[in-house]
Structure 1
């Protein structure tokens, strides 16, 4: 039936109705239109309320593209992850500065990053610096991801990577609980309102995976003996070990006390006189030593009555020498017995050169299991110079030794490998600094560890797989070590040289793979911050 004919039929049917029936029909039709209108309005209201709830939940903001890098899209939450990672690094430097380590940063977390500057010229705010760091990080993420795929590198975490991932998530959840937050709210408190557990875990997994990829590339880098020789020749003043004797003669003028007990600082004339006296004593000490006197004994006769003897015979690398007399010691013209006087702001140093050499002592890779002795004593008030509560009894030390012997026997009854020793360390060591790593310490330098530990390690007869027991009587570490010698390693200078090579080569590699990559802000960037 055509529309026109249908319309006519409706009109014809209407003509056969009474006035009352027509009125009722119109009222019914009006009521129907009204109910439809209310239903439509209701649907619109529900949609608006739902949209508002979704908006307030950051549903759209969390999914909007904030930054693009060569086809890789990143959300506001991902940008904030890297922004706040840069922030946290700077905050760590600020924390160190509160402990007296100066010159690390001028950042103040109490001030908005947009209101403080990185440089004295005030060309870049800390906000811009953190954001620049975030965009640089995203650029590297995109470039490294593409490079990994191109190289056929697996984008799945290794077993070690999975352990790192799981332990990081676990630590984050523990920190959240300790701080009184839920896991999700704790992440937002650290990284910003757009951070979700999904975004955080995705960023973390990607970061670990890309770190593994970079490590895999670094492991392919090799260097020749010629490389190391060139490095040494260019840096010998920093690498060489310097053996010398030094005594410090203070030139500080002592303060006095007035009749009321108040401290009276020395006058400028008194300060000048004190420095002149120190200089005279330093010159005389040098002359006496040159005449054949014993440096250590003579130094004691020239210090101020209220000063301790500051003489010492020492060895240190050139990179650690005092700037006051370091250049003199590094002078290639230095010969054994050369002696000189050097002024500082508070006195004078008398320094005698003894030797200079390249330390080729190998470092060592070792594993250990620490068995701490149980502390059961209470402090005895009668012994003021001893705190018995921190010292184990002889019985406790014997018990620790017995446990160490048992662990060693347990290892010897197995396959006797470094890996099995590591598993034993993970399960039994009281050394929180190495237990999770299988008790492993790598590239240990001679003199780095406590005496008994050091003496066992640097027994020149050691070969891979050697084991032993070492007693530890240092405060806070009383007990016994089960030792495992894993391998001799390169000397420290060579390890440092390799690290320098790798840093340079990895920097060049990153620059090469990020060439042509650019972070571009998208519409969703307005949600960042």
Structure 2
């Protein structure tokens, strides 16, 4: 996509009769909800040359729990003089003329223009396609469709692994989980809310990126084209059109334009967040204050645990699950006793792993496969966590990290959404995360070996002397280019995005990274020369250099070397400041449009299930007929 196309995407579609829309909105927790059942008809017809800026995770972004919208009263008149002046001319317009004007609008654009989403983006998107606005930026039903379908797919996948108590064959509106505040909520509502969270986050950062002139890199543009090309290939392999393939995988109202725009938004958002983190400075006072307010978050603790299934079908099932957990807890005396429980408690999982291992490796004996499976589960009963990444709620964390809770104490924690009771044995006291860590950025210049695939710091390749020499020359030229800039962290990060072959530390990878960043790196994690340069006592912020490793030449940019808890706090403060932007965003949600999207997806899922059942039935009948014929 060229600069002209991007500029076109930045044009804004005239708001749909903003005065009438705002009077029909209820504001709750900073989010405005459309309460009119026929909101589509309250719009002023936009001209065809008007445009809309659309916008895609960390995920990872939070909406408060949404309650059902209630009708709001009209705004009180606040200025009598203005009312007299504005209302006077309207007294002389007959109702028939007003209705004729409305009919003319509908006749010009068609009823479907206001009632049926057209699946378009930008200036071609009709009013019925708008599901929400974030700081004035309109979100299409296709974009919401994409995030909704992606989130549902994510949870369905992990539910199949046993991580969530979710029956994918049943209605999600009749199955329940808990939200971040511990409130009971249907899975359906949970999916809708999570989709809105993602849309809000991406739109907010995307808008900031446009405001500050952040652009896509050439590499990102190529990646977007490649992704679209891959979709086309997949559609072709399945003998369907690209449009059909996208609708089947990403939502009924999704289109190629939606996917392309989503990718552009994702990368521009990543670039903006990267720029923000580069330019945001955190002082020692900021770190000290944050630590004093969140001490437990930066302490680490070891504990042993057993995960016992939790059946929340009814009260009797819950009570039985708790009784089973209490029996297990009674047997947990020390570390050895917990390990000894593994073969018994995880017997079904071990049996399943043994079967799978033997199917994958025909030379493996059952005895050996069982030994390996048991060993694997035994290694998983011990873990070390910090307060900030503990899987438990505040009450359980307080018990676990408190000095008043003695080593050897036991307690169970019910995670209903995961479908497990975690029975915990405390095996150490909490201690501050004092381990040395360092944070750097780097640009990896790997010698070219004829293989164009991106490298990472976990892969090794043999290179010739000529290839090494060429890589060194390129690394020198990139560093020289950096030295001609203002030598800021952001300038270095942009060069990393453009030149680094380490996809794990840039936006081209899947780690939500940007600009060659390696943050809070513990000793021994990276190759020796990389680490040696990074922890040199003489290092100060902004230092640069070139280091050679088996992977190539690393152009280094030093950020800090400090205890782990300080490094984590610096990252958290920056993340919190980013989140503040989302908290301040003005969000308006059209519930009717969201309902259309959700209903469409439910109908498509039911149709697919019925089709699969019918196909299975026909196949079974065909087999039976064939058997009868053979007899």
TM (norm. structure 2) is: 0.44
Q: 1:187 to 1:522 in 2, by over 3 A?
A: closer
Shift of the alpha carbon at 1:107? 6.3
Asked if structure 1 preserves the Cα contact closer than 8 Å seen for 2:119 and 2:129, the reply is no
Aligned pair in 2 of structure 1 residues 363, 209: CA closer, same or farther (>3 Å)? Answer: closer
Unaligned runs of 5+ in 1: 1-53, 251-267, 283-305, 375-391, 472-479
Can you list the C-alpha shifts for 1:264-297, whole angstroms capped at 9, x where unaligned? xxxx9xx99x969x77999xxxxxxxxxxxxxxx
Determine if the alignment matches structure 1 residue 465 to structure 2 residue 541: no
Q: 1:86 to 1:513 in 2, by over 3 A?
A: same
In the TM superposition, what are the counterparts of 1:479-490 in structure 2 within 5 Å?
A: 480-489=551-560
Task: Name the CA shift for 1:275/1:169 in 2 (closer, same or farther; >3 Å).
Answer: same
Query: 1:153 — aligned with what?
Result: 211
**Structure 1 Cα separation of the partners of residues 233 and 387 of structure 2:** 48
SS at match of 2:463: helix
Q: Determine if contact 1:434/1:441 at 8 Å carries over to the other structure.
A: yes
In 2: Cα distance, 1:371 partner to 1:410 partner: 10
Query: Residue 367 of structure 1 aligns to a residue in which SS?
Result: strand
Trace 1:35-434 onto structure 2 (pairs within 5 A). 64-66=126-128, 68=130, 78-99=140-161, 102-103=163-164, 106=166, 108=168, 110-111=169-170, 113=172, 116-118=175-177, 124=186, 126=188, 128-132=189-193, 153=211, 158-160=215-217, 163-178=219-234, 180=237, 181-205=240-264, 223-240=282-299, 317=386, 341=408, 358-359=434-435, 361-370=437-446, 400=463, 402=465, 405-411=468-474, 414=477, 416-417=479-480, 429=501, 433=504
Structure 1 residue 347: deviation in Å? 12
**Aligned CA distance change for structure 1 residues 486 and 174 (closer, same or farther; 3 Å):** same
Q: Is the 8 A contact 2:408 2:425 kept in 1?
A: yes
Aligned-partner Cα distance in 1 for 2:593–2:278: 37
Mapped to 1, the partners of 2:193 and 2:385 lie a distance apart of 40
Give the superposition deviation at 1:167.
Answer: 1.5
Alignment of 1:484-499 (within 5 A): 484-489=555-560, 491=562, 492-499=564-571
- TM-fit CA distance, 1:432: 5.4
Q: Which secondary structure does the structure 2 equivalent of 1:443 belong to? A: strand
User: Secondary structure of the residue that 1:445 maps to in structure 2?
Assistant: strand
Q: CA deviation at 1:232?
A: 0.9
Structure 1 SS opposite 2:525: coil
**Aligned mates of 1:354, 1:522 — CA distance in 2:** 49
Equivalent pair of 1:456/1:470 in contact (CA under 8 Å):
no
Distance (whole Å) between structure 2 residues aligned to residue 197 and residue 174 of structure 1: 12
CA contact 1:366–1:486 (8 Å) conserved in 2: yes
**SS in structure 1 of the partner of residue 141 of structure 2:** helix
Seen in structure 2, the aligned counterparts of structure 1 residues 409 and 187 have a Cα distance that, compared at 3 Å, is: same
Following superposition, the deviation at residue 240 of structure 1 comes to: 3.8
Secondary structure in structure 1 of the residue aligned to 2:142: helix
Tell me, what secondary structure is at the counterpart of 1:400? coil
Which is higher, the Rg of structure 1 or of structure 2? 1
Distance 1:72 1:317, change over 3 A: closer
**TM-aligned CA deviation for residue 90 of structure 1:** 3.6
Q: In the aligned structure 2, how far is the partner of 1:144 from the partner of 1:426?
A: 21
Equivalent residues, number: 379
TM-score in terms of structure 1 length: 0.51
Deviation readout 1:38-66 (Å, 9 max, x if unpaired): xxxxxxxxxxxxxxxx99xx996766422
Q: Which residue of 2 aligns with 1:514?
A: 586
Alignment gaps of 5+ in structure 2:
1-111, 307-323, 338-373, 413-421, 451-458, 484-491, 601-631
Contact 2:440 2:558 in 1 (8 A): yes
Rounded to whole Å, the distance in 2 between the matches of 1:59 and 1:326 is 47
CA shift, 1:443, in A, is 1.7
Provide closer, same or farther for how the CA distance between residues 118 and 230 of structure 1 changes in structure 2, counting only shifts above 3 A.
same
Q: Are the aligned partners of 1:228 and 1:494 in contact in 2 as well (CA < 8 Å)?
A: yes
CA contact (8 A) 2:441 2:517 kept: yes
Distance 1:142 1:450 in 2: 35
